[in-house]
Amino acid sequence: MTRDYTPIPCALYSEYELAIMRRRPLRVRWKDRYGMDRVETLKPTNLRTRRHAEFMIARNQLGQRRVLRLDRIIEARERCEA
């Protein structure tokens, strides 16, 4: 399933690490495993590597857990908390 994983640039990975350390929410747009576009405000909590692919572990505004494969993230922008 992860044979087609494309590594992301190190600078982008570092941006995700900073968002985690600063506890900053991100407005994330990604393709889910079915190829559908998804958009949510997420608070990333960790980055993981499994089966030769990298993932972001995050929580949405309702506290639901999200696991996103990093190469499926199209855009992630820092959001100000209200």
What domain range is 34 assigned to? 10-78
Smallest CA-to-CA distance from 69 within 23, 77, 43, 52 is with 52
In a domain, 44, yes or no: yes
Q: What pLDDT, on a 0 to 100 scale, did the predictor assign at position 12?
A: 96
Convert the pLDDT of each residue in 3-46 to its tens digit.
Answer: 689 999 999 999 999 999 999 999 999 999 899 999 999 999 99
**Residues whose CB is less than 8 angstroms from the CB of residue 60 and which lie 6 or more positions away in sequence, other chains included:** 40, 41, 42, 43, 66
| pLDDT tens per residue, range 36-49 | 999 999 999 999 99
Average pLDDT over residues 51-80: 94
**Ranges assigned E (strand) in the chain:** 26-31, 37-50, 53-60, 65-69, 73-78
Classify residue 53: in a domain, yes or no.
Answer: yes
* Domain count of the fold of the chain: 1
Assigned domain for 65 exists: yes
pLDDT at 82 over 60: no
For 75, phi and psi rounded to 5 degrees?
-155, 140
Supply the CATH number for residue 44's domain. Answer: 2.30.30.100
> Which helix (H) or strand (E) is 12 found in, with range?
helix 10-22
